[in-house]
Chains A and B, each alone.
Chain A
Amino acid sequence: MKITSSYFRIVLALILIIIAFIILINRTLAQSASNNSYIIQGGEIEQKTFTNPDDSSTESFDKSSDKTTNIYFGENYQVTAGFEEIEDNQPFSFSVSNTLIDYGLLTPTNPVSRTTDLIISKGSSRGYSVFAFANRQLSDVNNNSIPDTTCDNGTCSETSSAQWSGNLSFGFGYRCENSDSSGCTGDFLKADYFKQFANDSKPKQYQAIINSFDSGKAKIEYKVNISNNQAKSSYSNSITFIAIPNL
């Protein structure tokens, strides 16, 4: 009987502690109030002055925050430049560490790897993507070409990645490694996972190799490995990286 009553008291105390937690820990935001019919949202009150649409190429101005909203009017049109609610107007920037990847003299079963750093600053965008594609396979003047890799198990393509570590798997491919929070797509989370570049001559859909919300840096690794049957020659192609802000 005694045990039951002390047990009951402790349980009661625990329940009271939990209820106190619920009531005390949750803060009430004084900026807003609501019920089923309304919501009052506090905070900064924006006062916008829009220019007369008849005035060509004029700019509207947000008085409360001294921020330029970049809305222009012309004859029969209106232009909004940038994201309305992003206060700074920082440019979007994209750097590529090298513009020529020299593979040197290719020899059979000796894979050659080269890298390029891509650095993206998102500026006043809301994230961005980097698309990549090749104009063709690595080819020589006689139209001999090094095929795009299909990786060790023959399954990788421009849309799916796979492991490529064997010296007897031939072709040309790439992988994307995060140098920081750059947002290389999930295809490259595992080591030695490679893909083909989308081939613009076939044509294949351009693939986003990076999709990120924040500024960042990525390392692109190119890999080429030729077989004994590959004609000794100089092979070349162009690889395009397009950095574009998200919508």
Chain B
Amino acid sequence: MRLKSKIFLAGSVLIIILLFTPKIINASGYSLSIYPTIIKIKTNPPATVKAGIRIKNLSDNPVELGYVLKPFVASEKSSGQVKYLLYSDYTSKNTNFLQGVRILENDQTISKIILSPKQEKNLTIVIDIPREEESIDRYFSLVFLAQNQDKPDSSYSRIVQGIGTNVLISINPQGHKAKIKDFSTSPFVSGGPVKFNVKVENIERNFINADGYIIINNIFGQTVGKVNLGPRNILAKSAVKMSSKENNDVIWTENFLLGSYKAKLYVNYDNYPTLSEETRFIAIPAKPIIILTIAGFIIIFIKNRSKSC
């Protein structure tokens, strides 16, 4: 009897603990990777374009992914960012075009993907472009979305994680034409590094890939510096601030500068003739000059004092 009551008591305590222990929710996050970071397509329809995409679950939990296609235009910030169209701004042409985009896994069209921990899958994006498709560029992001389905009793925000890659498509690409919209720097500098503003505008209807470099010559015509520009994709009828290969700004890192300099920018795009433009700046190292001048006056003063003594 005593044993039975002990078992009953232990059972009751266990039930109470189970009832009142907060529900455990697996709210740990996801980690995903995608490759490539951009897909650029040039086509003369009719075509069924195929391109490979790798997506990997880097976390220790399985994840179910859906995907969406989000059309975009170039951001007004000219920084290489995209600007997504609002659903209300979609045209029937946008919608019809996106209906021709499918994702395949093992040659089967899918709407969802399940990735085990650390699993990587090779997918194929297939874009059907009919012969009568309008000869313009189409840009969209393919975004994979993961979300937690747990539902706590209290107030909460469910986090949806999205990772994507950009797809640029030129349909019946014509000629490409670009121009240097801005190449400038401060006309007077007291020393390096020198920051250049470089903006390239694509004035045609198809995206281009631009890169280039800046050669800096001193007052004697000697080449004293070179800055390589990283590649940028410039969407149709838009302008982009170029950046160096190493960071987001175009910077000549030379520190000691003196005199007049000429900087010449060369921009290449899609195997077209190189564009070029020049700018000049004058470097006056005010601090060293002031120090040298003061030192000169001190020497004169000491010399005169010693002679008068």
Contacts and interface: CB of A to CB of B under 8 A. Distances in A.
B209 interface: yes
A247 B166 contact: yes
B79 A211 contact: yes
B231 interface: yes
13 contacts: A26-B218, A29-B225, A33-B223, A74-B49, A76-B46, A89-B36, A93-B32, A127-B80, A222-B157, A234-B155, A242-B162, A246-B82, A247-B232
Contacts, number: 291
Contacts of A239: 157-160
Given A243-B162, A247-B232, 19 more contacts: A3-B304, A6-B300, A6-B303, A6-B304, A22-B220, A26-B218, A77-B41, A81-B40, A82-B36, A89-B36, A91-B54, A95-B30, A96-B31, A101-B156, A138-B155, A208-B81, A236-B156, A240-B160, A245-B37
Interface residues of B, number: 101
Contacts of B292: 14, 17
Contact of B147 (A28, A99, A101): A99
A244 B226 contact: no
Interface string A63-104: 000000010101111111111111001111111111111111
Nearest to A81: B36
Interface stretch (A118-126, A148-156, A163-171, A187-195): A118-126
B49 A84 contact: no
A81 B52 contact: yes
A123 B47 contact: no
Contacts of B37: 82-83, 91-92, 123-125, 245
B221 to A, nearest CB: 8
Interface string B285-309: 0000000110010011001100100
A110 interface: no
Given A77-B41, A93-B32, A123-B35, A32 B226 contact: yes
Contacts of B45: 76
A243 B163 contact: yes
Dominant SS among interface residues on chain B:
strand
B44 A28 contact: no
Contacts of A6: 300, 303-304
A72 B125 CA distance: 14
A93 B164 CA distance: 9
Contact of A211 (B27, B81, B232): B81
Most buried by B among A29, A77, A101: A77
- Interface residue range, chain A: 35 or more
Contacts of B25: 100, 102
Contact of B164 (A14, A17, A242): A242
Interface in B38-86: 38-52, 54, 56, 58-59, 74, 79-84, 86
A99 B29 contact: yes
A23 interface: yes
Nearest to A121: B33
Contact of A22 (B31, B154, B218): B218
B30 to A, nearest CB: 6
Nearest to B160: A240
Interface of B: 25, 27-52, 54, 56, 58-59, 74, 79-84, 86-88, 141, 143, 145-148, 150-166, 168, 209, 211, 213, 215, 217-220, 222-226, 230-235, 240, 243, 247-248, 256, 258-259, 264, 266, 292-293, 296, 299-300, 303-304, 307
Contacts of A205: 83-84, 86
B155 A224 contact: yes
A91 B56 CA distance: 9
- Shortest 4 CB-CB contacts between residues of A and residues of B: A242-B162, A93-B33, A95-B31, A99-B148
A83 B231 contact: yes
Contacts of A99: 27-30, 146-148, 158-159, 161
A65 to B, nearest CB: 15
Interface string A32-66: 11100001010000000000000001000000000
Contact of A247 (B28, B41, B82, B226): B82
Contacts of A101: 156-159
B196 to A, nearest CB: 16
Nearest to A32: B223
A242 B155 contact: no
B34 A92 contact: yes
Contacts of B157: 100-101, 103, 134, 138, 222, 236-239
Nearest to A235: B155
A3 to B, nearest CB: 6
B47 A100 contact: no
B169 to A, nearest CB: 9
B156 A102 contact: yes
Contact of A77 (B42, B56, B223, B296): B42
